[in-house]
Amino acid sequence: MPEAIFLAGDAPSVQRCARCGATSPERAVAAECADCGGLLELVHPAPDVHGAALLARFGSRCCMHPRSEASGVWRFRELVMPGAADIMSHPEGNTPLLARESVRAFAASAGLLLKHEGHNPTGSFKDRGMTVAVTQAARIGARAVACASTGNTSASLAAYAAQAGIPALVFVPRGQIALGKLSQAMAYGARTLLVDGDFDECLRLAREASRELGVYLVNSINPWRVEGQKTIVLELLQQLGWDAPDWIALPAGNLGNTAAFGKALREAHALGLIARVPRLLAVQAAGAAPFAAAFAHGFATHERVHARTIASAIRIGDPASWDRAVRAITETNGAAIAVTDEEILDAKAVIDASGVGCEPASAASVAGVRRLRAAGTIGEHERVVAVLTGHVLKDPEIVLDYHQRTEPKPARANRPVEIGAALAEVARVLNG
Ligand code: F0G
């Protein structure tokens, strides 16, 4: 196995700059490389066993107690934070892999499976990274934690910081985050800053606060977040008996998750957990798609945009994990595409009506699969897993607007009917 992927011996994990290769200890708190400002990534010691023996170990931890073993993140701790002792776990993960015929028919993808990360404790995949980042915050004795967010990260941080007893500061774009997410941040007790600016400005401010004010930054540029989010891929591979699918599709905004998926696949392949690497499909919203635009030009360009989309979770114009995500897409022979808000809302309506439900950004993954099936890039019989990143209740305003709007009435609108409190009126609706 190439040494660069894992460390030899049983030395503690190190943080390594993905740009210049400089390393720092695993407890170093800097959010970026001290030498060149590049983003950091974790490199762990190689587990004492690999291949079948490691598969058996992960398998034996499924559904076990104590608490840490019940987590779909900490079950894989050799690949997440081998040195962890006191774990800040809800628990999280162990999310279902769902098959729904109506969604398969919509996407024209017969074997499509939905990995529903909305089943995490705060309703999004962010909990997988946050359990690790807040565990790290506690073990380095952080006095406060902070993040910029389009909503889900702030909700997750608020919950885990409350559990750890560490004050949390969240920076969100004022008037631009979904109701469910804002409610969660406030309910779980985070200091909630409504910033007069977009997400990209929130992130700039949070990075400055981390540098100047000594608060520990837990955005997905934090390498521990990436380690936790890798377990979405590890867990779905485990659910498939480590028989990797042909494609894994996910919505992409700040590109932290795309980066995490790439790292998970690289490591799983190096350890002999999977025989071949699935192709990653990163799907952006058309009004916030600098990464998809760059992919179309062989990643020769790197431009930021002023982000506009109904999918507020991925309304990001200057993604922070760009280089890591380029590597993920390139190494997996993957793709990055953009879908319109209309395609996102259509896919969401189908996913919702199947009884599964998800927030708007999540539906981009299924919309993307549909697009590449129509283009023939994804074959009819290829096995595809689309990740649904957040719960349907995250953004109730979009749901109400979609189903109650009249001009024009959306294709799949399910309008509620107002009636008087009389049986005859019920019968009229039933027969009509
Ligand atoms: N889906 C949902 C529901 C999200 O909340 C996010 C990101 C993404 C997809 C995209 O993931 O940024 O790693 O490419 N939400 C962040 C937040 C930005 O602040 O909650 P990404």
From first to last of its 432 residues, the chain has per-residue pLDDT tens of 444 799 988 889 999 999 999 999 999 988 899 999 999 999 999 999 999 999 998 888 876 555 557 899 999 999 999 999 899 999 999 999 999 999 999 999 999 999 999 999 999 999 999 999 999 999 999 999 999 999 999 999 999 999 999 999 999 999 999 999 999 999 999 999 999 999 999 999 999 999 999 899 999 899 999 999 999 999 999 999 999 999 999 999 999 999 999 999 999 999 999 999 999 999 999 999 999 999 999 999 999 999 999 999 999 999 999 999 999 999 999 999 999 999 999 999 999 999 999 999 999 999 999 999 999 999 999 999 999 999 999 999 999 999 999 888 999 999 999 999 999 999 999 998
- Burial of residue 415 (CB within 10 Å: 0-12, 13-18, 19+) is exposed
Ligand 1 atom index nearest CA of 254: 12
Separation of CA 431 and ligand 1 centre (Å):
44
Separation of CA 402 and ligand 1 centre (Å):
22
Q: Where are the beta strands (DSSP E) in 224-270?
A: 247-251
Distance CA 152, CA 30 (A): 23
Separation of CA 316 and ligand 1 centre (Å):
9
Element (H, E) at 342: helix 341-353
Ligand 1, residues at Cβ distance < 6 Å: 124, 126, 149-153, 220, 251-258, 313-314, 359, 361-362, 389-390
Q: Where are the alpha helices (DSSP H) in 145-191?
A: 152-164, 179-187
Ligand 1 atom 1, closest CA: 389
Separation of CA 269 and ligand 1 centre (Å):
26
Separation of CA 389 and ligand 1 centre (Å):
8
